[in-house]
């Protein structure tokens, strides 16, 4: 059995992976001694006997078998590596045990979660961005709902897995589909959920935007996908050669203003998208964009909390602030990437969407 090759986990379950490793490590004293011995001095894998010596564990009685069981447990759950003895250790051991690169890099966090499971349970993850169990929303009377505004969100996503991406081994599709589902779940748990409608348009192009403006008259237009300092990357609508199609911010602004009822808020949940402000300024009330690149995880944490707050009757400013807090709580250190800009005369604390 060979060492695992360390990879960069961009699927958004980094914290969940560490918490899972911590649960397998646990607090068993013998297991901890063996774990600490493996991650002690030295880089070369060690035999069970060498590890027991390092951990100051006697090999008499049943200790050897118990140590073997715990080492197998650690190896099974990828807390340590397990390799065949190639003769480098001359004590007739069949296997050697060594450091796992991922665990070594995150050892302090893993041990911390294992020591304090209650703290681990509060960590925000992609499956649970809030970092806490969700309680059912309070019941709201129909008469009160009728007095509330109706919010329509045109949710556009584009993420064609083009030949250019396929040629890059580190480039994987964004989980925009999961992001939308998390947003829908967050709204469903909110008290004014019946007053919010998400019109989801995957594989979006310019026509998707124009049709959505005509058909639904959304107050919010949201885009998730790729972008840069000058344009959004939409879908070219090709089945045989899927690829990105550029939508300059200047053309985006023209499309937004080519309707009698304009959206009030534009959310560009994509890299370097705050650059659109120059083209959209004076044409909308609010723009939320990114000052630089943003990770898939941060984007997927920000959006659900933002819409959960709006669907709970919070102002645009408070919804934005809560979403930034959610990103910071997820230990992503990208909260300063997300910026909000208001048009002159707009009071962010009085602007509510429902």
- Same domain? 174 vs 89: no
CATH number at residue 159: 3.40.50.1460
Any domain includes 6:
no
CATH number at residue 53: 1.10.10.10
Q: Can you give the residue range of the structural domain that contains 77? A: 14-121
- Same domain? 109 vs 182: no
C-alpha distances (whole Å) from 339 to each of 40, 285, 301 are 44, 14, 15
Query: What pLDDT was estimated at residue 333?
Result: 83
Strands 286-290, 231-235: pairing is unpaired
SS3 label, residue 258: coil
- Same domain? 101 vs 193: no
Any domain includes 7:
no
What tokens appear for 254 in the block? 């023209």
- Same domain? 116 vs 182: no
Any domain includes 354:
no
The model's pTM: 0.61
Looking at the DSSP bridge assignments, the partners of residue 46 are 97
Give dist(CA 66, CA 57) in Å, integer.
11
- Same domain? 173 vs 68: no
Any domain includes 5:
no
Any domain includes 3:
no
Any domain includes 353:
no
- Please state, as a whole number, how many other Cβ atoms lie within 10 Å of the Cβ of residue 308: 28
- Same domain? 332 vs 210: yes
- Same domain? 315 vs 219: yes
CA 125 from centre of chain: 7
Query: What pLDDT was estimated at residue 174?
Result: 80
Please provide residue 315's backbone torsions phi and psi, each rounded to the nearest 5 degrees: -70, 165
- Same domain? 207 vs 151: yes
- Total domain count for the chain? 2
279: left (phi over 0), alpha (psi -120 to 50) or beta: alpha
Last residue of a domain, one of 63, 86, 121: 121
- Same domain? 192 vs 238: yes
DSSP single-letter state for residue 337: G
CA angle 191, 261, 202 (to 5 degrees): 65
- Same domain? 106 vs 168: no
Give dist(CA 41, CA 47) in Å, integer.
14
The residue behind tokens 């941060």 is 298
- Same domain? 159 vs 275: yes
Any domain includes 350:
no
Give dist(CA 245, CA 284) in Å, integer.
24
For the chain, 354 residues long, give each residue's pLDDT as a single digit of tens: 455 544 444 444 567 788 889 999 999 999 999 999 999 988 899 999 999 999 999 988 888 899 999 999 999 999 999 999 988 988 889 999 999 998 998 999 899 989 988 877 777 665 565 555 555 556 666 666 667 789 999 999 998 876 555 555 455 568 899 899 999 999 999 999 999 999 999 999 999 999 999 999 999 999 999 999 999 999 999 888 888 899 999 999 999 999 999 999 999 999 999 999 999 999 999 999 999 988 888 889 999 999 999 999 999 999 999 999 999 988 668 889 999 999 999 998 999 998
- Same domain? 148 vs 86: no
Any domain includes 4:
no
Looking at the DSSP bridge assignments, the partners of residue 154 are 199, 221
């Amino acid at each position: 059995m060979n060492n695992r090759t360390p990879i960069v986990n961009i699927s958004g379950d980094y914290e969940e992976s560490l918490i899972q490793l911590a649960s397998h490590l646990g607090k068993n004293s013998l297991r901890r001694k063996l774990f600490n011995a493996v991650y002690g001095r030295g880089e070369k894998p060690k035999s069970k006997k060498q590890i027991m010596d390092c951990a100051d564990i006697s090999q008499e009685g049943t200790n050897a078998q118990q140590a073997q069981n715990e080492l197998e447990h650690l190896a099974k759950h990828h807390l340590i590596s397990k390799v065949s003895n190639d003769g480098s250790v001359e004590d007739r051991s069949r296997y050697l045990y060594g450091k796992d690169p991922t665990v070594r890099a995150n050892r302090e966090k893993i041990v911390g979660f294992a020591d304090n499971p209650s703290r681990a349970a509060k960590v925000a993850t992609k499956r649970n961005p809030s970092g806490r169990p969700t309680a059912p929303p309070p019941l709201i009377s129909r008469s009160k709902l009728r007095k509330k505004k109706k919010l329509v969100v045109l949710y556009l996503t584009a993420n064609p897995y083009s030949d250019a991406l396929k040629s890059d081994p580190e480039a994987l599709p964004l989980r925009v589909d999961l992001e939308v589902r998390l947003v829908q779940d967050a709204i469903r748990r909110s008290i004014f959920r019946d007053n919010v409608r998400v019109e989801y348009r995957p594989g979006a192009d310019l026509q998707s935007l124009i049709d959505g403006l005509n058909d639904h008259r959304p107050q919010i237009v949201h885009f998730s996908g790729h972008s840069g300092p000058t344009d959004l990357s939409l879908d070219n609508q090709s089945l045989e050669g899927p690829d990105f199609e550029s939508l300059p911010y200047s053309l985006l602004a023209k499309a937004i203003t080519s309707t009698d009822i304009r959206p009030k808020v534009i959310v560009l949940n994509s890299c370097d998208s705050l650059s659109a402000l120059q083209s959209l300024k004076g044409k909308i009330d609010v723009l939320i964009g990114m000052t630089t690149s943003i990770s898939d995880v941060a984007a997927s944490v920000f959006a659900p909390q933002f819409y959960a707050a709006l669907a709970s009757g919070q102002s645009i400013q408070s919804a934005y602030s809560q979403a930034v807090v959610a990103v910071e709580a997820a230990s992503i250190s990208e909260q300063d990437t997300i910026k909000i800009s208001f048009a002159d005369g707009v009071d962010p604390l009085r602007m509510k969407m429902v």
